[in-house]
Structure 1
Amino acid sequence: MEQPTPRTSAVVPWSLLLLCLVSGALQARAQPNGFISIDCGGPTGYVDDTTGLSYTTDAGFIDADAGNNHNISVEYITPSTPKSWYSVRSFPSETRNCYTLSSLVSGLQYLVRGKFLYGNYDDPNRLPIFDLYIGVNFWTRVNILEAGAAVYTEAIMVVPNDSLQVCLMNTGSGTPFISGLDLRPLKNKLYPLANETQALVLLHRFNFGPTDSHDIIRYPLDPYDRIWFPFVDATDWTDMSTDMNVNADVDQLFQPPEAVMQTAITPRNVSNNIEFSLDLESFPSDLRLGYIYTLYFCELEDLSSSNAVREYYINLDDVLQVESSEEAYTPTYLVDRYFYSTGPFQADQSIVISLNATAESTLPPIINAIELFAVIATTTLGTDEQDVSAITAIKEMYQVHKNWMGDPCVPKALNWDGLTCSYDVSKPPIITNVNMSFNGLRGGISPNFANLKDVQYLDLSNNNLTGSIPDTLARLHSLILLDLSNNNLNGSIPFGLLKKIEDGSLSLRYSNNPDLCTNGNSCQLPERGSKVAIYIAVPVVVIVVLVLASVLCFCMQRKRKQGSINYSVKLTNEGDGNSSLRLENRRFTYMELQMITNNFQRVLGQGGFGYVFQGSLEDGTQVAVKLRSHSSNQGVKQFLAEAQVLTRIHHRNLVSMIGYCKDGVHMALVYEYMPQGTLHEHISGKHNNGLGLPWRQRLRVALESAQGLEYLHKGCNPPIIHRDVKTTNILLNARLEAKIADFGMSKAFNYEDSTHVSTNTFAGTHGYVDPEYQRTMQPSTKSDVYSFGVVLLQLVTGKPAILRDPKPITIINWTRQVLARGDIESMVDARMQGDHDINAVWKTTEIALMCTEQAPQQRPSMIDVVMQLQECLDLELGSGNGGKDPNMGYNVATYMSIDVSQNNGTFEIDHNYTTGPPMDTGPAAAR
């Protein structure tokens, strides 16, 4: 029968024989503190006869439905084959499958070991190649060369958290599998080059001097359970050994087992030196920082009573490794000593280590053991630890399977389904969106959702959730959309969430929860409440109502005396009629507009609605007055549409409306003033002495504009399609922050009813219009995405949407033609004067071209666009072009939405005003 031949993950130059029993059966003993020994694919736990260590099945360390259990073929099993090699777990599905080792000590150094014996478990004898990761950092490549070869992979690393994941990654070269997984805690002083930023991956570990090729040393002889493979070569070497105790070196940096230091080799020919080669080819050279070695020496002969001298030089690839060329090494009698790399060194396919006797030496060199490691980086940042803990608890509570294994956000290509993450070059990724809609969730809403501190969108709709809505969700300061519709929730909406809804920072969807009380006036107290509490509560409520009524009457009388004008917009819900909120916007008379614009003296611009004038309120607030021209083809309908949209939406990247005027035939909208004009003016060179915006500023404008559109599509209920996205409708304030403007053509629609709006009125500007919308007259959010793609191309190229010279061509087709020639620099706006990272330009162009795909379903959502533009900005900031701009570290903006309605939310416009002079001061622009 063919026996498994143990190897490290690298191919070794010496023949290593089978892993067998240490001579003499060991008694079962208690598991050392912190040891984890997993038999992957095994049916039950047991105590290993060789080591006395307790092995457990892998059921508690990996998802229940991850992988398949197999036994290796009987031809690879003999009475001497350790039980831990009998079974394997294979992973034919999913790219990444991970084991989670918990209850670790953060900051402590650990040895992690994987074991792999293929043993033709799946019969076709297809030898696989796959990668291992420790958390989000590459560990090593497992290359199975023989069915009966036992492959070991081992790493020494500092664990940053209280848990560690070992992940098998399918590289397309066969099905990953694993036989066993071990974890052993080490003392932090051991292996000084293993730290928080780098780990050591074992390539070779050999014990010189044993005479039996089966004499493997590990636990309990090595308290850390390192596996020391014997090196036996009776032809060239003389074996040395001693039964006397070997004292530990004072530094204790490596602590080799005493049994290892009690044997050594020396050349059989006393005039020879020691030289050997260590292979490096099996480890991916592009994934390591270099190599380090540790050589172990202990003199086993007492030379004190003789004139014998043993001293030698240590050379690595013919380079002397001692500090002085005149220094030689002399091992110490019965004291373990070592010589090690103080830093990584570079090598190609192999390294040659030679021990050469000095001229004064009367004895040849000796060596007891050697370890060789590859150094790998562990600096890749995994997802924020609190987010990982929270989403993992959520996964366990609802038994989510899908691809929820490994790190939730890293690598980006494998982030968990339904999660959107935000990435910063200097910080761990954070979870910003969670979409668990249609996931069959049962039970209550997990309290761990409240620990996702940066989440902005939380969609738990269309499940079977029961119980009440936890008030702890109000702790989510970034939450802008909470969708709980189509569940079986009960109770009432918590006060904390109602307060966020009232202040406009949260949009809540809760339709089709029959037992959920949404009207605070009719929600009854819980039955368990005492009658005493009711007797106390009712009088208190009556008193509060009377006091509020008195205050309200006083305020109304005072307002009448001041002659103030009040305009309110009430959002109502056709579903139950109970949800309503009110916003205050100032209503201006035409005479007031004349006063604040100095009789319409300064024109800022002109559009289809009419002229836009600059003005100043009584408190000095600068405003823009959009006055409808009597000859405008945009009438009352468009005026009301824009007014309704602007009173509903509040976002830092959307222009805010301060008030309106509807005075006889005069109609106007009053906005916050944007002193830097339109994006079109900046791209065309009308500002800054003809110089265009610098590239980083363009990226910032792109990101902020995308955030505004993202809010319209996702943060509004019902969602809003702008329908006229273009550079003249993107305005810049004094800090060059971008804001979307002009909502006269905007349309709202309900995602639950359709994916588009049916309309007989065409809107848009030639060069920006989605061809699908132009064909069907049915705009969707993807229509805005298309238009935004055109804007992105303009930001990159500085060109108009339609190029006229030498013949008319869209900027999309022009860009594709230039890219087909492979010359991206020729399409970049020359006014940026080369101050850009070409990789960020490439990525931005790719985003733009994805946005302008002909088929709407092939275009990304604005959420995706925002995330990708953030990556572009991160890429540009990390390129070193001018250093990081502290004003350009942007995350997805915080939204404010005032809509708490269920389905089919509509607007009611109420006009309540009295006669008299205008208000003393106008309201500040909403931010």
Structure 2
Amino acid sequence: MCNGAIRAENSGGEAEKQQIRPRLVSAASLPRRRRHRRRAPSSRPARQHRYAPFPAGFISIDCGLPGTASYVDDATKLSYAPDAAFTDAGANHNISAEYITPKLGRRYLNVRSFPGGARSCYTLRSLEAGLKYLVRATFMYGNYDGLRRPPVFDLHVGVNFWTAVNVTEADNPVIPEAIVLVPGDSVQVCLVNTGSGTPFISGLDLRPLKSTLYPQANETQGLVLLGRMNFGPTEITDFVRYPDDPHDRFWYPWLDATSWSSISTSKRVQNLDKDLFEAPSKVMQTAVTPRNASSNIEFSWDAEPHPKDPAPGYIGILHFSEVELLPSNAARQFYINLNGKPWYPKPFTPEYLYTDATYNSNPYRGIARYNISINATANSTLPPIINAVEVFSVIPTTNVGTDSQDVSAITAIKAKYHVQKNWMGDPCVPKTLAWDGLICSYAISTPPRITSLDLSHNNLTGSVPDSLSQLSSLTVLDLTGNQLNGSIPSGLLKRIQDGSLNLRYGNNPNLCSKGNSCQTTRGKSKSKLAIYIAVPVVLVVVIVSVAVLLCCFLRRQKRGTMNNSVKPQNEPPTSHSQPGDAYHQSSLQLENRRFTYKELEMITNNFQRVLGQGGFGKVYDGFLEDGTQVAVKLRSDSSNQGVKEFLAEAQTLTRIHHKNLVSMIGYCKDGEYMALVYEYMSEGTLQEHIQGNGRNGGHLSWAQRLRIALESAQGLEYLHRGCNPPLIHRDVKGANILLNSKLEAKIADFGLTKAFNRENGTQVSTNSLVGTHGYVDPEYANPNSPFIKPLIMLDLHLFLGGFIRATPETRRYHATGKPTTKSDVYSFGVVLLQLVTGRPAVLRDPEPASVIQWARQRLARGNIEGVVDPRMRGDHDVNGVWKAADVALKCTAQSSAHRPTMADVVAQLQECLELEEARGGANGSSYTSSSSGDPYSGRNGYAADGLSTDVSQSSTAFEMEHNFGRAPTMPTGPAAR
């Protein structure tokens, strides 16, 4: 909190003399008045309290709270989480018993202190990039350390200085608040030790704001609250916050019975249309007017220069609303002046029961004291009023953090090796706090990049993470003198070969499989190092090539034998081809075995055992002549997927081959009968296991879920990158991921697959919107398309992920009606969230909601344990779960441009699995046995099936001297909350 002061001046006395440096103010820079169309009048009474325990995007942290359990505040009904999930540094303490009183709020009872390191940070995740947020920290010393020496330290938001925290009294909390625009999907709040005591913190809050609110906060400038005052309450305890203010701003009461009279109304005061500040009705229902009708309303605040900001700038927002219904012959009109000059150049008349405001867009600077005077005009029959005031200082937010890819990579390395050092906050910014062992490059027009990384002699164990390859600007990497094992990732080897990376990894005895043959030796030329690396690579390529040729030869022989045993019937050309579609040929020409319908009857024992059902038809169990078990997918007459989809899937499966894609053994196109014969996947669909209906009655462990996610992602990555042209699956979901006896995952159901032109970003045109509810990319699900108009609004809301209000404007802006590879990424993100949570894509209780929305709200509060599937019983690496959940939320970003590629997802999931393996939790392959107390057992609350659907067919004290710098400090905490 800035230490400036806002003071009330008794206009009946002599104003305090103050030297003011002359400053010319042009009319263009004078404060504006908030003017917009009024909303329709409301006859509703003043709003009653409607508690929402989990407001969307709210993060409320009780710092130093032990354990993992959250609690709900009695007064606000907001949920407060412990801080362990937000920081990995510091220690918990309780405040001294002498400062504990019955009225003291719960979050003031404990603190977290940071005695080690220059910078200690909290990471607030799952944010929406480019959105404005209110960030508020709380510091109540309470002599927690027994030293009776309150500290002084700096506070940063992101990589920018926020304020200096100066705790002067043990029982008075200091509560700085800032409004900033967050450029990424997370933000860090950091405490910086300046040598004047150990930093500590009691609480941390984050509240999302509409992008239209507080226009003075933007990409280059943030607002730091000096004071936010509510004029006119009759009681000093009339402290307004959530739920009376939906944004949970703190409005402190301002009383001065000697100078002001209070006026109020019980009627609701409404905001103007597109209001820039949305002052709450509870605040605007009270106002003050001079006790002497001929006097003015006056108050002031002092500038507080700081070494980091010797000439601070200030933004003022004055809120007005008429709370008295005036007779026709009465008028209230007044001027607003700043230091004797017009603040607002015209007479101001507040509107009855509507909020209005004047404010300056550009900060005022160079003034020692800012005196506001509000005086009635000559035409006014009533004295002036004011309802509320907000004053902010401005801070620059122009510092740019380290490149996001570098941050992701180095954070993964930190998590894998549990690096402590000073690895907190941004790796490179500010330069004085850059991480130990890093050297960064700083360009004017681009974010800093990591160019050198020294991890030598740190007793590191385990494998060399592939994430090091993602540090694309890295030129020097020193891993010398550790206990690393395994092999060096191919990405690093390639960069050693091309000379772009100097890798040092000596004295790691177990790093290479053949003694010291791959250690870098001084004096050896780069060409010799290339030979050492290239020779084994060539040998591997030769061996693999021979193996592939042999495998293909044997496979063709086997196919020939099988085809000779069955003579296919003659087949006329199909009339269902689509011009321009590479998959839809005039006739079916496939390499795989071709079955007759009678053969299928024999293979399936007359279609006796049904394995499952999809949009194409039923899937039957069968056995070939040699005893090989297969799955036969037979198209039903009632299927809404016809010849086109059948041909598409058959043609696709003949040209794609990957270990994580289900293999097609053969097909049947016998007159009206159409079927596909697949390899048999004994463990059924992933959807069954998520629902708790796995075929062995158990539940997947976290390691098994990670492997399934990774293998599924690898299959999709192959479709997107390994096929030419790239293929879009378009119906990724748990029901289309199959598991074999080893729980290896394979993507299935390619009837909706389409080609995507990688060069120009176009895709094969579609004449219908396809996919499954809860999994469809919101940019693909175009609500204005004639194919989606039959959808009810609920389904539309679920398609949009539950994140945005489904207005016509937003729907037109966000949706394209065209699938891309990022559409598959979105759908996969939903599946990944299901693996983390064990919940369906669409939740029905207590009201319909997307699992994305459900998880995002809880993760934003740091409640990871409230998100994780309880059937895993805590047997997981929490960092790995956090990372996987974060990957899922990135995959399901509203804008496809903000989503990662499947290649990025594969890399991130590999790191999650490494974290689990390092914990020792990835060794077993057995299921967790089910129990009667399973919270998710059975199918209750889940969709009846996992069918693909063509959605075109679906339906305190406040000091009486009015010292504004003291306003946010209260002996018992804000209203004991």
In structure 2, C-alpha distance between the alignment counterparts of 1:103 and 1:259, rounded to whole Å: 31
Report matched runs for 1:409-558 at 5 Å: 409-474=428-493, 476=495, 479-487=500-508, 488-490=510-512, 520=536, 533=548
CA contact (8 A) 2:334 2:377 kept: yes
**1:62 equivalent among 87, 91, 94:** 87
Deviation at 1:479, TM superposition (A): 3.1
In structure 2, C-alpha distance between the alignment counterparts of 1:376 and 1:509, rounded to whole Å: 55
Moved more, 444-453 or 293-302: 444-453
Deviation at 1:530, TM superposition (A): 12
**2:266 equivalent among 243, 246, 269:** 243
In structure 1, C-alpha distance between the alignment counterparts of 2:142 and 2:48, rounded to whole Å: 26
Q: What is the identity, as a one-letter code, of the residue corresponding to 1:423?
A: Y
Report the equivalent of 2:210: 187
Evaluate the alpha carbon distance shift between residue 453 and residue 497 of structure 1 in structure 2; reply closer, same or farther with a 3 A threshold. Answer: farther
Does 2:75 match 1:50?
yes
In structure 2, C-alpha distance between the alignment counterparts of 1:458 and 1:357, rounded to whole Å: 71
Report matched runs for 1:86-125 at 5 Å: 86-125=109-148
In structure 2, C-alpha distance between the alignment counterparts of 1:481 and 1:321, rounded to whole Å: 62
Deviation at 1:57, TM superposition (A): 1.0
In structure 1, C-alpha distance between the alignment counterparts of 2:499 and 2:262, rounded to whole Å: 69
Does 2:416 match 1:393?
no
In structure 2, C-alpha distance between the alignment counterparts of 1:410 and 1:475, rounded to whole Å: 30
Deviation at 1:526, TM superposition (A): 13
Report the equivalent of 1:75: 98
* 1:24-80 deviations in Å (ceiling 9; x for gaps): 9989743111111111111142111121111111111112xx222111112221121
Which one scores higher on RCO, CA 8 angstroms, separation ≥ 6? 2
Does 2:422 match 1:403?
yes
SS in 2 for 1:79: coil
CA contact (8 A) 1:485 1:509 kept: no
Evaluate the alpha carbon distance shift between residue 509 and residue 49 of structure 1 in structure 2; reply closer, same or farther with a 3 A threshold. Answer: farther
* 1:632-655 deviations in Å (ceiling 9; x for gaps): xxxxxxxxxxxxxxxxxxxxxxxx
Report matched runs for 1:837-856 at 5 Å: none
Q: What is the identity, as a one-letter code, of the residue corresponding to 2:337?
A: N
In structure 2, C-alpha distance between the alignment counterparts of 1:357 and 1:502, rounded to whole Å: 88
SS in 2 for 1:218: coil
Q: What is the identity, as a one-letter code, of the residue corresponding to 2:343?
A: Q
**2:180 equivalent among 133, 157, 160:** 157
Report the equivalent of 1:128: 151
CA contact (8 A) 1:469 1:491 kept: no
Q: What is the identity, as a one-letter code, of the residue corresponding to 1:520?
A: P
* 1:333-387 deviations in Å (ceiling 9; x for gaps): 1100010112111144431111011111111110000000011111112211211
SS in 2 for 1:133: strand
SS in 1 for 2:85: helix
Deviation at 1:237, TM superposition (A): 1.1
Moved more, 376-385 or 482-491: 482-491
* 1:693-737 deviations in Å (ceiling 9; x for gaps): xxxxxxxxxxxxxxxxxxxxxxxxxxxxxxxxxxxxxxxxxxxxx
SS in 2 for 1:321: strand
Deviation at 1:403, TM superposition (A): 0.6
Report the equivalent of 1:345: 364
Deviation at 1:261, TM superposition (A): 0.7
Q: CA RMSD in A?
A: 3.5
* 1:443-495 deviations in Å (ceiling 9; x for gaps): 221121111110001112222222222212256577331122222224589xx
CA contact (8 A) 1:481 1:507 kept: no
* 1:862-886 deviations in Å (ceiling 9; x for gaps): xxxxxxxxxxxxxxxxxxxxxxxxx
Evaluate the alpha carbon distance shift between residue 244 and residue 470 of structure 1 in structure 2; reply closer, same or farther with a 3 A threshold. Answer: same
Deviation at 1:281, TM superposition (A): 2.8
TM-score for the superposition, normalised by structure 2: 0.49
Does 2:392 match 1:383?
no
Evaluate the alpha carbon distance shift between residue 309 and residue 169 of structure 1 in structure 2; reply closer, same or farther with a 3 A threshold. Answer: same
Q: What is the identity, as a one-letter code, of the residue corresponding to 1:417?
A: D
Evaluate the alpha carbon distance shift between residue 419 and residue 232 of structure 1 in structure 2; reply closer, same or farther with a 3 A threshold. Answer: same
Evaluate the alpha carbon distance shift between residue 298 and residue 418 of structure 1 in structure 2; reply closer, same or farther with a 3 A threshold. Answer: same
Deviation at 1:413, TM superposition (A): 2.2
Report the equivalent of 2:720: none
Deviation at 1:251, TM superposition (A): 3.3
Report the equivalent of 2:282: 259
Report matched runs for 1:487-636 at 5 Å: 487=508, 488-490=510-512, 520=536, 533=548
In structure 2, C-alpha distance between the alignment counterparts of 1:164 and 1:61, rounded to whole Å: 11
Does 2:373 match 1:354?
yes
In structure 1, C-alpha distance between the alignment counterparts of 2:206 and 2:494, rounded to whole Å: 38
Report the equivalent of 1:227: 250
Does 2:168 match 1:145?
yes
In structure 2, C-alpha distance between the alignment counterparts of 1:26 and 1:443, rounded to whole Å: 55
Which structure's CA Rg is the greater one? 1
CA contact (8 A) 1:481 1:508 kept: no
Report the equivalent of 1:372: 391
CA contact (8 A) 2:233 2:254 kept: yes
In structure 1, C-alpha distance between the alignment counterparts of 2:204 and 2:462, rounded to whole Å: 35
Report the equivalent of 1:556: none
Report the equivalent of 2:338: 316
* 1:76-123 deviations in Å (ceiling 9; x for gaps): 211211101111111222111111111111111001111011111111
In structure 2, C-alpha distance between the alignment counterparts of 1:354 and 1:507, rounded to whole Å: 78
Deviation at 1:238, TM superposition (A): 0.8
CA contact (8 A) 1:9 1:152 kept: no
Evaluate the alpha carbon distance shift between residue 404 and residue 309 of structure 1 in structure 2; reply closer, same or farther with a 3 A threshold. Answer: same
Report the equivalent of 2:14: none
Evaluate the alpha carbon distance shift between residue 375 and residue 148 of structure 1 in structure 2; reply closer, same or farther with a 3 A threshold. Answer: same
Q: In percent, how many aligned pairs have the same letter?
A: 52
SS in 2 for 1:489: coil
CA contact (8 A) 2:505 2:519 kept: no
In structure 2, C-alpha distance between the alignment counterparts of 1:436 and 1:41, rounded to whole Å: 31
In structure 2, C-alpha distance between the alignment counterparts of 1:328 and 1:507, rounded to whole Å: 81
Report the equivalent of 1:888: none
Deviation at 1:249, TM superposition (A): 1.2
Evaluate the alpha carbon distance shift between residue 71 and residue 9 of structure 1 in structure 2; reply closer, same or farther with a 3 A threshold. Answer: farther
Unaligned segments of structure 2, at least 5 residues: 10-46, 554-977
In structure 2, C-alpha distance between the alignment counterparts of 1:269 and 1:259, rounded to whole Å: 26
SS in 2 for 1:211: coil
What is the number of residues matched between the two proteins?
Answer: 509
CA contact (8 A) 2:2 2:163 kept: no
* 1:141-166 deviations in Å (ceiling 9; x for gaps): 11112111111101101101111111
CA contact (8 A) 1:450 1:475 kept: no
In structure 2, C-alpha distance between the alignment counterparts of 1:505 and 1:312, rounded to whole Å: 83
SS in 1 for 2:236: coil
In structure 2, C-alpha distance between the alignment counterparts of 1:152 and 1:335, rounded to whole Å: 30
Deviation at 1:202, TM superposition (A): 0.5
Unaligned segments of structure 1, at least 5 residues: 1-6, 16-23, 511-516, 539-927
* 1:790-844 deviations in Å (ceiling 9; x for gaps): xxxxxxxxxxxxxxxxxxxxxxxxxxxxxxxxxxxxxxxxxxxxxxxxxxxxxxx
Larger strand share, 1 or 2:
1
Deviation at 1:396, TM superposition (A): 1.0
